[in-house]
């Protein structure tokens, strides 16, 4: 069992320039990075997007697990991060346990914010918008049993919203029909008119919160996990020094460096450089 002193010395051994690696299939993880910036503005960050694998939500569990484990293995060797944040509900609900077993670096995942939603709802009916892969995970069943057993949780997989969020961050217009369809899908389920709280269970979806709020109409609150994740990262890095040696950057998988397509959005999140992974 590590003593208090050994915990302190571990914290002191961390290279102040060691980054926090924030990982998603695309730009959704920026919604987590935004909260991390508020909590730890001095922390060096590498943002990694598996754009060659996007979208994860329409892939099988085996495909997502293999990509996530392979990429995180490669990236932890290359960048020696002090901590990895899997800023993706799909990757986390499928592969978090597995990657924690194989990688020797603290890993913080992103899972649907069912617990806070259950505490917020007044009608007892919660909507959950995620990817198709996320909404079928046993991980989500367990969260529902543990925190919302006495509530009605209505789940909808909305891959079109992932595309819409990506487009929005490239500066393209959001198709209102896509947003409307997602809201109507939940509203038209038995009990759906009672929804007063919606869990944004995909890190891309908070990028569309304004549009979704319009589509759902007044009286619906949205909840996601980004603030909680930032708090958890702050706790796990407590006592560590931070010193940015190089500008924070965004890295993409595949053969196309997408930095210029997302340049304005990336700069908004403090990511100055970019490149291919
Ligand atoms: N941002 C990811 C999530 O939180 C999923 C997007 C995708 O389908 O790749 O689930």
Per-residue model confidence as pLDDT tens for the chain (277 residues): 444 444 454 555 899 999 999 999 999 999 999 999 999 999 999 999 999 999 999 999 999 999 999 999 999 999 999 999 999 999 999 999 999 999 999 999 999 999 999 999 999 999 999 999 999 999 999 999 999 999 999 999 999 999 999 999 999 999 999 999 999 999 999 999 999 999 999 999 999 999 999 999 999 999 999 999 999 999 999 999 999 999 999 999 998 888 899 999 999 999 998 889 9
Out of 49, 52, 90, 229, give the residue to mutate to test ligand 1, the one with the largest number of ligand atoms within 8 Å of its CB: 90
Instruction: Answer yes or no: do 42 and 177 share one domain.
Output: no
Of the listed 202, 215, 223, 277, which one is catalytic? 202
Give residue 242 CA to ligand 1 midpoint distance, Å.
Answer: 29
Question: Count of CB atoms within 10 A of residue 248's CB?
Answer: 21
Q: What is the pLDDT of residue 11?
A: 52
Instruction: Answer yes or no: do 125 and 257 share one domain.
Output: no
Q: Which domain holds residue 163?
A: 114-224
In whole angstroms, give the CA distance from residue 65 to residue 96: 9
Closest ligand 1 atom to residue 88 Cα is 4
Instruction: Answer yes or no: do 236 and 214 share one domain.
Output: no
Of 257, 250, 253, which Cα lies nearest the Cα of 273?
Answer: 250
Instruction: Answer yes or no: do 256 and 270 share one domain.
Output: yes
Cis peptide before 55 (omega within 30 of 0): yes
3-class DSSP state of 16:
coil
Instruction: Answer yes or no: do 21 and 70 share one domain.
Output: yes
CATH number of residue 262's parent domain: 3.40.50.1860
Q: What is the pLDDT of residue 4?
A: 46
Instruction: Answer yes or no: do 175 and 93 share one domain.
Output: no
Q: Token pair for residue 231?
A: 């708090």
Instruction: Answer yes or no: do 163 and 212 share one domain.
Output: yes
Instruction: Answer yes or no: do 21 and 104 share one domain.
Output: yes
Q: Of the residues 189, 209, 224, which one is the last residue of a structural domain?
A: 224
Q: Token pair for residue 52?
A: 């060659």
In whole angstroms, give the CA distance from residue 135 to residue 197: 16
Instruction: Answer yes or no: do 8 and 101 share one domain.
Output: yes
Q: What is the pLDDT of residue 3?
A: 44
Using CB distances shorter than 6 Å, the residues near ligand 1 are 24-26, 28, 54-57, 88-90, 131, 134, 162, 202-204
In whole angstroms, give the CA distance from residue 26 to residue 143: 25
Instruction: Answer yes or no: do 201 and 255 share one domain.
Output: no
Q: Please, are residues 158 and 227 in contact by the beta-carbon 8 Å criterion?
A: no
Active site residue 202: yes
Give residue 27 CA to ligand 1 midpoint distance, Å.
Answer: 9
Q: What is the pLDDT of residue 12?
A: 56
Give residue 29 CA to ligand 1 midpoint distance, Å.
Answer: 9
Active site residue 85: no
Of 216, 197, 220, which Cα lies nearest the Cα of 119?
Answer: 197
In whole angstroms, give the CA distance from residue 181 to residue 196: 18
Which DSSP symbol is given to 181?
H
Question: Count of CB atoms within 10 A of residue 215's CB?
Answer: 18
Q: Token pair for residue 161?
A: 């919203």
Instruction: Answer yes or no: do 23 and 94 share one domain.
Output: yes
The number of domains in the chain is 2
Of the listed 72, 86, 88, 143, which one is catalytic? 88
Out of 30, 48, 56, 200, give the residue to mutate to test ligand 1, the one with the largest number of ligand atoms within 8 Å of its CB: 56
């Amino acid at each position: 069992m590590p003593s208090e002193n050994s915990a302190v010395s571990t914290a002191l051994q961390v290279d102040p320039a060691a980054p926090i690696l924030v990982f998603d299939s695309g730009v959704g993880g920026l919604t987590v990075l935004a909260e991390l910036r508020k909590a730890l503005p001095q922390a060096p960050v590498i943002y990694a997007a598996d754009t060659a694998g996007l979208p994860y939500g329409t892939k099988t569990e085996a495909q997502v697990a293999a990509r996530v484990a392979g990429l995180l293995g490669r990236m932890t060797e290359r960048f020696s991060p002090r901590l990895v944040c899997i800023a993706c509900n799909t990757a986390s609900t499928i592969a978090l346990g597995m990657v924690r077993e194989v990688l020797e670096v603290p890993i913080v995942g992103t899972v649907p914010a069912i617990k806070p939603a259950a505490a917020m709802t007044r009608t007892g009916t919660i909507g959950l918008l995620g990817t198709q892969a996320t909404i079928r995970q046993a991980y989500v069943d367990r969260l529902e049993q543990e925190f919302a057993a006495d509530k009605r949780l209505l789940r909808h997989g909305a891959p079109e919203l992932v595309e819409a969020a990506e487009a929005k961050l490239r500066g393209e217009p959001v198709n209102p029909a896509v947003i409307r369809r997602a809201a109507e899908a939940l509203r038209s389920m038995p009990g759906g008119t009672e929804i007063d709280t919606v869990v944004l269970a995909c890190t891309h979806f908070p990028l569309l919160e304004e549009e979704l709020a319009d589509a759902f109409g007044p009286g619906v609150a949205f909840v996601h996990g980004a603030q909680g994740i930032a708090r958890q990262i702050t706790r796990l890095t407590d006592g560590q020094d931070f010193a940015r040696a190089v500008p924070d950057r965004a890295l993409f998988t595949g053969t196309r460096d997408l930095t210029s397509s997302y340049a304005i959005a990336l700069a908004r999140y403090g990511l100055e450089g970019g490149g291919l992974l």
